Amino acid sequence: MRCEACAKDAAGLVALPAGVLAAMRHIVSCEPGRLFSFELGNDAKDCLSRVCEQYLLHTANCGFKTLEFLRTVAE
């Protein structure tokens, strides 16, 4: 994540809606029993999913065959 000023010069960044950012903050800071105690609209859910997937792939520095399979099944 980057501030707005730094993000202007970086390619490939995703603008996060406020609800998605709030959900991300909730996910990393809540007690495990409250992990899924938030609601998002479909567009925000899709955005959260994409951002989390991009983070996982970037952090792991590899691909996952099961993730690729899931994409083909979902289509």
Q: Are 42 and 17 in contact (CB under 8 A)?
A: no
Which DSSP state fits 73? Answer: H
Q: Are 2 and 29 in contact (CB under 8 A)?
A: no
User: Does the structure show a pLDDT above 90 at 3?
Assistant: no
Q: What is the pLDDT of residue 4?
A: 67
Q: 3-state DSSP helix/strand/coil percent for the chain, to nearest 5? A: 65, 0, 35
Per DSSP, the chain holds a count of helices (H) and strands (E) of 4, 0
pTM of this prediction?
0.74
pLDDT in tens, 20-40: 999 999 999 999 999 989 999
